[in-house]
């Protein structure tokens, strides 16, 4: 089947490449000529495990272009996979979706199905179909279907090739049958529903996971106050099949391109309909506060942060990606910079993107050891495997004062028991906390 995909970000590019892997002829279109030039060389513009290998493997079935006519005129199915970032008020910004809709309307020359994978407010697909009716040339029909994505950055290729479910929202049986053919070689539960339900499934799913993360972080904060251990608490909860053990890992909040904007978008959408979703509102507030826990913890060990050398391990919002969107590092590092701290940062793939935002005021290090050298405090923002595998004695070996604040619970407490390292994590007791007397704690 001839397929066009609008947008070559995490959703669009991964979708296009994985559809080519399953035998379809795919044209990926984007307005960014530099990105298209890269992809035509077999180079992925985003860091995603396994993506570049699949691009090269399926290069005979993949085409990358900025030519809308080439992309849309012969396509049987057109996927829209562009971003829907939040506006200042928290609502979803649909300008990129409608920009693509204009390009499609101007260039289609036959009936086709437009499939919206982008996360859009409930009712958007219905409005898009009317939008096309008003703009395409006479005698041509554009049918719109909702097909939300459920991929996670870092595992996007696997999540797309082996999805947890395939949701198709449409008002016409023949459109559902076309999309069944698109996905005929994918093995996953399939649900055919109407467009509004499909749109709601995406928001409800993402926001439920955000709720779960915020809830376990609240429990973790209370564990610190009463002396319970969040790792044991989460394990005990996870044995209950009704709860499950996924998304019960306490930390310093969720980030990325989905959870932050999708919680805000659904909260705004409900308010627009004169309804307040109190649980979603609470999740947003908890997550915002959780990102500041690292600074609060640091102030337990130093009356003044000014002039300290701070090691920062991990800049991206999660391991396996170079994406910085809503990363806790973006909240904390500017505060440290305002305190005139010297920051030595390490991240295996995220440093270049971070450097674009902060070209000065940060020493970007090639190794963890370099980032730790002569520092007064270490903050861990991302649970990269390189950090988890690090011999913890290196904190003592390289740091001037070995105080480690771990926002991702990368280590077992026992690893620090017979060391001089102060280790403060999330929802657990501080190891060697008594040592902090010598470091200026009140």
* Residues belonging to the active site: 258
> Sign of the CA dihedral 234, 235, 236, 241?
positive
Do 385 and 349 form a contact (C-beta atoms < 8 A)?
no
Q: Whose CA is closest to 311, among 403, 379, 254, 252?
A: 379
Q: How many CB atoms lie within 10 A of CB 412?
A: 14
Pairing between β-strand 342-346 and β-strand 309-313 as defined by DSSP bridges? parallel
Q: Cα torsion at 218, 224, 228, 229 (round to 10°)?
A: 80
437: pLDDT confidence band, cut at 50, 70 and 90?
Answer: very low
Q: What's the predicted TM-score (pTM) here?
A: 0.92
**Which tokens hold the place of 342?**
């010297």
Render pLDDT for 321-340 as a digit per residue (tens, 0 to 9): 999 999 999 999 999 999 99
How does the average pLDDT of the chain come out, rounded?
95
Rounded CA separation 260/253 (Å): 10
User: Tens of pLDDT along 34-81?
Assistant: 999 999 999 999 999 999 999 999 999 999 999 999 999 999 999 999
| Under 8 Å between Cβ of 39 and 64 | yes
- Residue 433 has a pLDDT of 85
Give me 365's structure tokens.
Answer: 């290090």
Residue 190 phi, psi dihedral angles, 5° rounding: -120, 130
Structure tokens at 20: 């080519």
User: pLDDT per residue over 157-208, tens digit each?
Assistant: 999 999 999 999 999 999 999 999 999 999 999 999 999 999 999 999 999 9
Query: Is 46:53 a contact under the CB 8 Å cutoff?
Result: no
Share of the chain above pLDDT 70, in %: 98
- In the chain, what are the domains? 2-193 (3.40.50.720), 202-290 (1.10.1040.10), 293-439 (3.40.50.720)
């Amino acid at each position: 089947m001839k397929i066009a995909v609008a947008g070559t970000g995490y959703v669009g590019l991964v979708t296009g490449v994985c559809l080519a892997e399953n035998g379809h002829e795919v044209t990926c279109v984007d307005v960014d000529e530099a990105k298209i030039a890269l992809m035509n060389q077999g180079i992925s513009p985003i860091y995603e495990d396994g993506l570049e290998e699949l691009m090269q493997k399926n290069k005979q079935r993949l085409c990358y272009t900025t030519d809308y006519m080439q992309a849309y005129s012969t396509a049987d199915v057109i996927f829209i996979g562009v971003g829907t970032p939040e506006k200042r008020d928290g609502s979803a910004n649909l300008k990129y979706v409608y920009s693509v809709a204009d390009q499609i309307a101007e260039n289609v020359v036959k009936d086709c199905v437009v499939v919206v994978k982008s996360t859009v407010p409930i009712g958007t697909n219905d409005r898009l179909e009317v939008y096309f009716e008003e703009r395409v040339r006479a005698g041509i029909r554009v049918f719109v279907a909702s097909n939300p994505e459920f991929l996670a950055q870092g595992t996007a290729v696997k999540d797309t090739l082996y999805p947890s479910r395939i949701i198709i929202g449409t008002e016409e049986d023949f459109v559902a049958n076309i999309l069944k053919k698109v996905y005929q070689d994918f093995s996953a539960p399939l649900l055919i529903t109407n467009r509004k339900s499909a749109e709601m499934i995406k928001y409800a799913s993402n926001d439920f996971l955000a709720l779960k993360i915020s809830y376990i972080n609240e429990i973790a904060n209370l564990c610190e106050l009463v002396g319970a251990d969040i790792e044991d608490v989460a394990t005990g909860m996870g044995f209950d099949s009704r709860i499950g053990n996924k998304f019960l890992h306490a930390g310093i909040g969720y980030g990325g391109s989905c959870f932050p904007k999708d919680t805000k978008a659904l909260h705004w959408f409900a308010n627009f309909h004169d309804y307040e979703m109190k649980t979603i509102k609470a999740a947003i507030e908890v997550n915002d506060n959780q990102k500041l826990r690292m600074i609060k913890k640091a102030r337990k060990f130093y009356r003044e942060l000014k002039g300290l050398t701070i090691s920062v391990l991990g800049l991206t919002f999660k391991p396996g990606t170079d994406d910085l969107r809503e990363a806790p590092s973006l909240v904390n590092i500017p505060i440290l910079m305002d305190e005139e701290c010297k920051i030595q940062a390490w991240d295996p793939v995220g440093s270049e993107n971070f450097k674009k935002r902060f070209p000065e005021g940060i020493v970007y290090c090639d190794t963890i050891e370099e980032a730790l050298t002569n520092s007064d405090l270490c903050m861990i923002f991302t649970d990269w495997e390189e950090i988890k595998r690090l011999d913890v004695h290196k904190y003592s070996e390289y740091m001037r004062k070995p105080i480690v604040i771990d926002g991702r619970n990368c280590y077992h407490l026992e690893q620090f028991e017979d060391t001089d390292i102060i280790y403060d994590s999330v929802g657990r007791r501080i190891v060697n906390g008594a040592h902090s007397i010598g470091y200026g704690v009140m």
